[in-house]
Amino acid sequence: MARHFAAKGHHLALCARRIEQLESLKASLCAAHPDITVVVHALDVCDHQQVFSVFERSREQLGGLDRVVVNAGMGKGASLGIGHEAANRKTAETNFLAAITQCEAAMAIFRQQGRGHLVTISSMSALRGFPGSGSVYAATKAGLRTLSEGLRADVYGTDIRVSCILPGFILTPINEDLRRAPFRVGLEEGVAAMVRAIDTEKGEAWVPAWPWRPVGWVMKWLPLRVLAKMR
């Protein structure tokens, strides 16, 4: 995603836990696009105070923030009640509680500026509940989707935009070992679709639109006995 936005001429603030990978990416982006500014910060989104300080530092370095993408997520949970409470709790903390903090930090900056575009990355799994490891993951993504809609209502009529992106299966480390990943697309195709959706600044987008728009409508009406087999 950073490479796509860099090619469009955007200045970037990149945040992740692994600073070495960010530094390597920064060097690559600056070599390919010498007219853009790229800043990088080590950030664990579960360190809530650090989120605020890193976002504010990024704003200072770039002279403002036009868009913030809340993208951190994990899916290491399991069925509830079988001894994986710690993994389920960590998934919930990373995907939802940390997302709230990131949205807080971003919205505080946007309200000060009087403009901005908040983007949350949810999932097509937000449309239904799923068994097994999908239970907590889907719940967090549904929560993020609802939070995004509430934020859109909260800033309706202003120059602050809020978009929620619901990707289907895109080949990344979070799903590369899944036995079932229907309609999964490669990383480049999936990211290109996400970037196009983000640039429209629409309130919500299911990506890639084909086949996930029709599949999404089907998902809403699947009987529970069918969902129970999706492990």
Q: Which residues are catalytic?
A: 137
Q: Where are the extended beta strands (E) located within 144-211? A: 160-167, 204-207
CA distance 158 to 26: 33
Q: Which residues contact 67 (CB under 8 A, 6 or more apart)?
A: 116, 117, 118, 119, 198
The C-alpha atoms of residue 117 and residue 127 are separated, in whole angstroms, by 23
Tokens 């809340």, residue located: 70
Please give the DSSP secondary-structure letter assigned to residue 185: B
Q: Tell whether omega for the bond before 211 is within 30 degrees of 0, i.e. cis.
A: yes
Residue with tokens 């990943």: 181
Q: 41 near 53, Cβ under 8 Å?
A: no
Tokens representing residue 209 in the block: 């639109």
Using CA atoms, how far residue 202 sits from 139, 196, 208, 210, in Å, is 23, 10, 14, 17
